[in-house]
């Protein structure tokens, strides 16, 4: 029990000299410790010392000295600091739960009333922390009424949810919305309206037709995906910036969930009952969805870590497949010098399939890595490679090619500046192309044949290093 514990600050000596110097010392201690605790973090010594002092003052007040302690707290300026008021109400709450004697319990209730009368702490702090019985005893009303009010407040604040009534949604609103979205994404750079103008157009549609904002965002993503899936190699960066600005008006966590559900739609094996019904075509994740996801991740509008759990296969399946693949190859390697005359031709071909692991046709993690490398987003691509480092994703041919292409794009500018041989070779290639084009035009006009030997002479560049040329490995 706290009442029987030894007291460090409000001890018998201080209480015996209360009228002479004890009250003054108590005020000085409260001021000093409060200022030190204000700058200290919770759990540090100044904060703990101040709470110990407040606890001992509260116990002294519960022993029948509530007026004296309230006077000390008022003179020390306790009402000015929220941190001090919080500490005071917390101590009263702890003491109210402690098994105090009946006399001290009534003294604590009088002390709580004195704090309210002196305005050392607001009423809402007592409502927030103290139990119904204690509040009833200090004049806050019946605990039954307080319990009913608390239930109503909690229901209203914590459990009331805002849901969109899907039955009230009107299809006309979606038809108008789809028209606005596809007019925006398909417009040229100069003809396209600003993202703010687009939001001003769709917000009245959402309000008038009671449209669910998450479904609206899904349609915006569908329009963006359709535009990226048209087969154009270059991405319209202006459109990407406009779309990301529009998506910023919606909930980012909802966008991640929507895109994750799109990926999960394509994770079922075999035929899909909603996709090309009656067709035997195996389902694969469309490249447009992968490309859109890579663009959003590269533009930092979609978190790779948040999307990762939605993708298949799982990391555990990846590791399991890799282990079985390595064990299979080790088993084959152990039989390399063993001649088995009973082995059929089919089994021999199976054993000679190579050392490249087949990651599957619908491996969403490998596909996403590929499109991130196509965009040149090494920051996020390296995270996938590091996360799945034991699996050697670079052994996949297309991943390997994109890594080489990315390295080439990074090195090419430096190579052009410092390597004269490279520039001469590029000049020879460009000249050969222009001459070849001229000869083809002449052949079409005059019907003459072009000598292949003469055409190949243009590409003949001396492979031996010439004196004075700066080679790539000689760059300083």
CA distance linking residue 118 with residue 418, whole number of Å: 81
Of 71, 29, 24, nearest in space to 46 by CA: 29
CA distance linking residue 270 with residue 363, whole number of Å: 14
Span 166-183, mean pLDDT? 81
What does the pLDDT read at residue 196?
92
CA distance linking residue 29 with residue 90, whole number of Å: 19
What does the pLDDT read at residue 448?
44
pLDDT tens digits, 25-52: 888 887 877 777 777 666 667 777 777 8
Structure tokens at 272: 């899909």
Taking 60 as the threshold, does the pLDDT of residue 316 lie above it?
yes
CA distance linking residue 120 with residue 30, whole number of Å: 14
Highest mean pLDDT range out of 82-96, 171-185, 319-333, 410-424?
171-185
CA distance linking residue 102 with residue 285, whole number of Å: 72
pLDDT tens digits, 361-406: 678 888 999 999 999 898 999 998 888 776 667 667 888 888 888 8
Q: Is 130 exposed, middle or buried (0-12, 13-18, 19+ CB in 10 A)?
A: buried
| Helices first, then strands: H and E counts in the chain | 23, 0
What does the pLDDT read at residue 467?
41
Q: Residue 85 in contact with residue 120, Cβ under 8 Å?
A: yes
Taking 60 as the threshold, does the pLDDT of residue 317 lie above it?
yes
CA distance linking residue 272 with residue 447, whole number of Å: 57
What does the pLDDT read at residue 161?
47
What does the pLDDT read at residue 67?
79
pLDDT tens digits, 289-315: 999 999 999 999 899 999 999 998 887
Q: Where are the domains of the chain?
A: 12-130, 419-474
More confident residue, 184 or 235: 184
| Weakest-pLDDT range from 133-142, 262-271, 344-353 | 344-353
How much of the chain exceeds pLDDT 70, in percent? 71
Rounded to whole angstroms, what are the CA distances from 346 to 60, 129, 141, 352, 353? 93, 78, 89, 10, 11
What does the pLDDT read at residue 475?
40
Q: DSSP secondary-structure letter at 338?
A: -
Which residues make Cβ contacts (< 8 Å) with residue 42, sequence separation at least 6? none
What does the pLDDT read at residue 263?
92
pTM above 0.75, yes or no: no
What does the pLDDT read at residue 449?
46
Rounded to whole angstroms, what are the CA distances from 278 to 226, 262, 273, 286, 318? 24, 21, 8, 19, 32
What does the pLDDT read at residue 279?
47
Q: Residue 225 in contact with residue 247, Cβ under 8 Å?
A: no
Please report which confidence band the pLDDT of residue 217 belongs to, taking 50, 70 and 90 as the band edges.
Answer: very high
Which residues make Cβ contacts (< 8 Å) with residue 471, sequence separation at least 6? 419, 421, 465
pLDDT tens digits, 404-448: 888 888 888 777 777 766 667 777 777 776 766 666 555 555 544
Q: With left for phi above 0 and alpha for psi between -120 and 50, is residue 140 left, alpha or beta?
A: alpha
Please report which confidence band the pLDDT of residue 163 belongs to, taking 50, 70 and 90 as the band edges.
Answer: low
């Amino acid at each position: 029990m706290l009442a029987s514990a030894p007291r460090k600050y409000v001890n018998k000596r201080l209480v015996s000299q209360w009228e002479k110097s004890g009250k003054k010392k108590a005020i000085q201690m409260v001021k000093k410790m409060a200022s030190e605790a204000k700058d200290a973090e919770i759990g540090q010594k100044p904060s703990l010392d101040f709470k110990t002092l407040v606890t001992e003052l509260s116990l002294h007040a519960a022993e029948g000295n509530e007026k004296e302690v309230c006077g000390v707290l008022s003179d020390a300026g306790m009402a000015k600091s929220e941190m001090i008021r919080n500490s005071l109400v917390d101590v009263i709450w702890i003491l109210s739960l402690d098994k105090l004697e009946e006399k001290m319990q009534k003294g604590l209730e009088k002390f709580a009333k004195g704090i309210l009368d002196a305005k050392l702490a607001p009423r809402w702090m007592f409502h927030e922390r103290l139990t119904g019985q204690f509040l009833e005893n200090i004049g806050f009303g019946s605990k039954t009424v307080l319990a009913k009010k608390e239930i109503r407040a909690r229901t209203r604040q914590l459990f009331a949810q805002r849901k969109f009534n899907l039955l009230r949604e009107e299809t006309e609103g979606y038809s108008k919305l789809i028209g606005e979205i596809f007019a925006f994404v398909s417009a040229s750079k100069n003809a396209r309206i600003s993202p703010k103008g687009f939001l001003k157009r769709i917000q009245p549609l959402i309000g008038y037709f009671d449209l669910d904002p998450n479904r609206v965002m899904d349609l915006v993503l569908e329009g963006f995906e359709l535009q990226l899936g048209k087969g154009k190699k270059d991405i319209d960066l202006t459109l990407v910036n406009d779309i990301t600005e529009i998506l910023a008006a919606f909930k980012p966590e909802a966008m991640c969930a929507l895109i994750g559900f799109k990926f999960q739609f394509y994770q079922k094996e075999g035929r899909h009952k909603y996709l090309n019904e009656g067709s035997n075509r195996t389902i694969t994740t469309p490249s447009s969805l992968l490309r859109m996801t890579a663009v959003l991740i590269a533009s930092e509008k979609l978190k790779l870590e948040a999307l990762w759990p939605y993708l298949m296969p799982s990391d555990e399946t990846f590791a399991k497949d890799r282990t079985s693949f390595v064990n299979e190859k080790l088993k084959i390697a152990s039989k390399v010098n063993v001649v088995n005359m009973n082995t059929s031709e089919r089994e021999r071909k199976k054993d000679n399939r190579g050392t490249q692991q087949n990651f599957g046709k619908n491996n969403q993690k490998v596909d996403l890595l590929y499109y991130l490398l196509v965009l040149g987003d090494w920051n996020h691509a390296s995270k996938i490679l590091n996360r799945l480092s034991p699996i050697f994703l670079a052994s996949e041919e297309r991943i390997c090619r994109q890594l080489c292409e990315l390295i080439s794009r990074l090195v090419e500018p430096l190579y052009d500046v410092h390597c004269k041989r490279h520039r001469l070779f590029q000049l020879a290639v460009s000249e050969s192309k222009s001459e070849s084009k001229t000869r083809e035009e002449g052949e079409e006009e005059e019907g003459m044949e072009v000598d292949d030997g003469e055409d190949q002479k243009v590409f003949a560049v001396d492979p031996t290093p010439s004196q004075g040329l700066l080679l790539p490995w000689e760059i300083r």
